[in-house]
A and B are shown apart, each in its own frame.
Chain A
Amino acid sequence: MKFLSFTLLFCALSMPALAGVLPGEEAPDFTLTDTVGNEHQLDSYLQDGKIVVLEWFNPDCPFIVKHHKKNKTMNEAYAKVKEQDVVWLAINSSAKGKQGYGLERNQKAVKDFEMPFPVLLDPTGEVGLSYGAKTTPHMFVITPDGTVAYNGAIDDNSSVATLGKTNHLLAALHNLLQDNDVKIAETKPYGCSVKY
Chain B
Amino acid sequence: MLTSETKDRIESRKIMLSIYCSGNPSPHLPKEQAMKTRTGFLAVLFTVLLAAGLAAAQVDMPYEVPHVPVAATTINQLDETFLVLWHLSPPEDWHLYSDRLNDSGFPPALTLQWPEGWSAGPLQWPMGERHVMKGGILDHVYFESVTLLQEIQVPPNSFADGDVTLSARWDWLVCRDICVPGFTQAEIVFSRSKPSHVDLEKQAKAWRALPHPVPEGRLEFAWTESTVTLLVRDTELMEFHPATDCIRLVDAIVDGAREGDTLTLRVRPGSDISTSLRGVLQLTKPDGSFDNWTVDIPYGG
Which chain A residues have a beta carbon within 8 Å of chain B's beta carbons?
A: 1, 4, 7-8, 10-12, 14-15, 17-18, 20, 60-62, 98-99, 125, 128-129, 132-135, 158-161, 189-196
Contact = CB atoms under 8 A, between A and B. Distances in A.
Given A11-B254, A18-B254, A160 B137 contact: no
Contacts of A133: 135
A192 B134 contact: no
B171 to A, nearest CB: 8
B132 interface: yes
Contacts, number: 84
Contacts of A192: 104-105, 175, 178-179
Interface of B: 103-106, 109, 130, 132-137, 139, 171, 173, 175, 177-181, 237, 251, 253-254, 257, 259
Contacts of B173: 62, 160
B106 A159 contact: yes
B104 A15 contact: no
B132 A196 contact: no
A139 B259 CA distance: 36
B257 A4 contact: yes
Nearest to B101: A188
A190 B102 CA distance: 9
B135 A196 contact: yes
A7 B132 contact: yes
Given A4-B237, A190-B106, A18 B178 contact: no
Nearest to B183: A161
Contacts of B133: 193, 196
A8 to B, nearest CB: 7
A20 B136 contact: yes
B179 A61 contact: yes
A62 B183 CA distance: 14
Closest 3 CB pairs of A and B: A18-B136, A193-B104, A196-B134
A56 to B, nearest CB: 10
Contact of B136 (A14, A60, A160, A195): A14
A160 B133 CA distance: 21
B177 A134 contact: no
A196 B134 CA distance: 6
12 contacts: A18-B136, A18-B253, A18-B254, A99-B178, A132-B135, A159-B109, A191-B104, A192-B179, A193-B103, A193-B105, A196-B134, A196-B135
A134 B137 contact: yes
A195 B106 contact: no
